[in-house]
A = this chain, B = another copy of it.
Amino acid sequence: MNGLPQENPPPDHELNPVARLAALAGSDMERVEALIADRMGSETELIPKVARYLVEAGGKRIRPLITVASARMLGYEGEGHHSLAAAVEFIHSATLLHDDVVDDSELRRGRRPANQVWGNAHSVLVGDFLFARSFMMMVDAGSMEALHVLSRAAAVIAEGEVRQLAAVRNIEIGVETYMEIIDAKTAALFAAAAQVSPILAGSGTALETALETYGRELGLAFQLVDDALDYGGLAEDLGKNTGDDFAEGKMTLPVALAMEKADADEKAFWTRVITDPSQQTAEDFDRAVEILNRHGTLDATLTAAREHAARAVSALDAAPSNVWSESLAALAEFVVERAY
């Protein structure tokens, strides 16, 4: 599995920050992986099959890593962070399974999505199963406050997804609404993944706020880099096709920014390709990239991502300075660096 210590790991300085953090948190993450494998188990055969297809598909476990590293950074000595980290990954996986049904995308982490292999019904039901199991693991962790934070995040994610549905193929969505949507759809779970650790560790509200900010800003940076890379970049690193968002008529920040600068011709172009993506021609994607580059909105998106990452790093000022906080800061920087 990605990110776990291997038999002959490369020297530490050659690893990227995600792998370095995963190595640092190796023993914790082994426990988290064991929990993930155990709790997706069911006598109903198809459930672990579908769940494994997704959960083992090479996700980098960034969210559970954040939970584990934050807990360690704060000197937490218990075991509740393993359950909460696994719970966070299950919420994420359940969301992906349901997204497949919602989006009708052709690739997920570089493979056919589960709903194209087993059908929508199984994606819906196995997502529900993982969601329910995630709450059982939260109960194991024993913190009512952490349960509140994670269940609220799950509700906010669903709200963000519904708003995104309305935004798909709507070129008038605007920058502000778009940022609200990704705050809910993506950043809320990162925020909760980080916030539950000071709750578990009893670190007080100032650190809860700091870690919540760290997670949220990292999540926003992560999403914005994703938006920019969809129009060119290291697609294989994301397990995502370049041009996916465009092909689905998804409004993202580069396009929302370009709409602000568009002349009549460009407005007509965006209206045509985003409102009814099935009418896109082979040349449309290249024209889109040309327009985005001419207005500098891919750069502007990456600049915004860098600012959010910087805020994530600053939020860690309130936390103890140790190898964990350094790794969390490096992670936030890497999320943006991968785009260059």
Contact = CB atoms under 8 A, between A and B. Distances in A.
A98 B124 CA distance: 7
Given A44-B163, A126-B158, A139 B121 contact: no
A125 B46 contact: no
Contacts of A133: 151, 155
Q: Which among A133, A142, A151, A166 has the highest number of chain B CB atoms within 10 Å? A: A151
A101 interface: yes
A155 B126 contact: no
A36 to B, nearest CB: 15
A1 interface: no
A40 to B, nearest CB: 11
A135 B147 contact: yes
A166 B125 contact: no
Contacts of A135: 135, 147, 151, 154
A128 interface: yes
Interface string A134-164: 0110110010100110011011011101110
A187 B73 CA distance: 45
A101 B44 CA distance: 20
Q: Which among A128, A165, A166 has the highest number of chain B CB atoms within 10 Å? A: A128
A125 B144 contact: no
* Interface footprint category on A: 35 or more
Contacts of A131: 128, 131, 154
Contact of A121 (B122, B142, B154, B165): B165
B142 A125 contact: no
Contact of A162 (B47, B120, B155): B47
Nearest to A39: B155
Given A136-B151, A147-B135, A102 B129 contact: no
A16 interface: no
A98 B47 CA distance: 16
A129 B158 CA distance: 5
Contacts of A147: 135, 138-139, 147
A250 to B, nearest CB: 13
A132 B144 contact: no
A139 B151 contact: yes
A151 B135 CA distance: 6
A42 interface: yes
Given A124-B124, A132-B154, A47 B148 contact: no
A125 B102 contact: yes
A136 B161 contact: no
B124 A165 contact: no
6 contacts: A42-B159, A46-B162, A95-B128, A120-B120, A124-B124, A147-B147
